[in-house]
Chains A and B, each alone.
Chain A
Amino acid sequence: EIVMTQSPATLSVSPGERATLSCRASQSVSSNLAWYQQKPGQAPRLLIYGASTRATGIPARFSGSGSGTEFTLTISSLQSEDFAVYYCQQYNNWPPGFTFGPGTKVDIK
């Protein structure tokens, strides 16, 4: 099974600042990686797929990069609505299954 790790666990950022979140896979997943945003009490929302393609309706301040085992989600200028938990998910090893990272919480500094 491919294991996903994310760092840092918590990222404290001031509004307007840049946030950089990392996701690492235990083996190559090519570009088969997605990012999700989850706010308290809500379901996850797809942000990025294919490592770098924004989903429909996602603002341009969200960008994804990377391939293989190292990936980055960048939020260029944090807005108040961006404070949330972010998860990465690999779908390269399908079948048999999908795996998510443990998440990075972005909170207000």
Chain B
Amino acid sequence: QVTLRESGPALVKPTQTLTLTCTFSGFSLSTSGMCVSWVRQPPGKALEWLALIDWDDDKYYSTSLKTRLTISKDTSKNQVVLTMTNMDPVDTATYYCARIGDCYSANWFDPWGQGTLVTVSS
């Protein structure tokens, strides 16, 4: 059974850097074709893709946020970490990690973690 779980601070101050961790089980990110991605959702709004890391350590970022995002993985710990710099109240959202089972040809997100709500406020 594949599961993912996000963890990180519930509250960050404006200008701070956010660090989120996705801990997963049931698959290995060293398996060819495997990817993990981050998606966020502001309260009451739509989903927004943020970043992706693949089994080969290639990284991809949202064009609009790429200067603020860094994604990395620790295969031995089954974890993917996302950092976002210079946080602003508009970044208040639930942040999800999700698996992509085949980055070559099957780029849908399944399953998703439960999400973690991050509020940006002074």
Interface size band for B = 10 to 19
B60 contacts A87, C-beta separation under 8 Å:
no
Which residue of B46, B110, B112 is within 8 Å of A100 (Cβ)? B46
Classify chain A: how many residues form its interface, as a range.
20 to 34
Q: Which residues 68-102 of B sit at the A interface, judged by CB distance below 8 A?
A: 96
Contact B47 A43 (CB under 8 A): no
Query: Inside 8 A of B62's CB, which chain A residues have their CB?
Result: 97
B55 within 8 A of A: no
Residue of B nearest to A100 (CB): B47
Residue interface mask A7-49, B partner, CB < 8 A = 1: 0000000000000000000000000101010000011111001
B114 touches A43 (CB 8 A): yes
B residues touching A (Cβ–Cβ < 8 Å)?
A: 37, 46-49, 60, 62-63, 96, 106-115
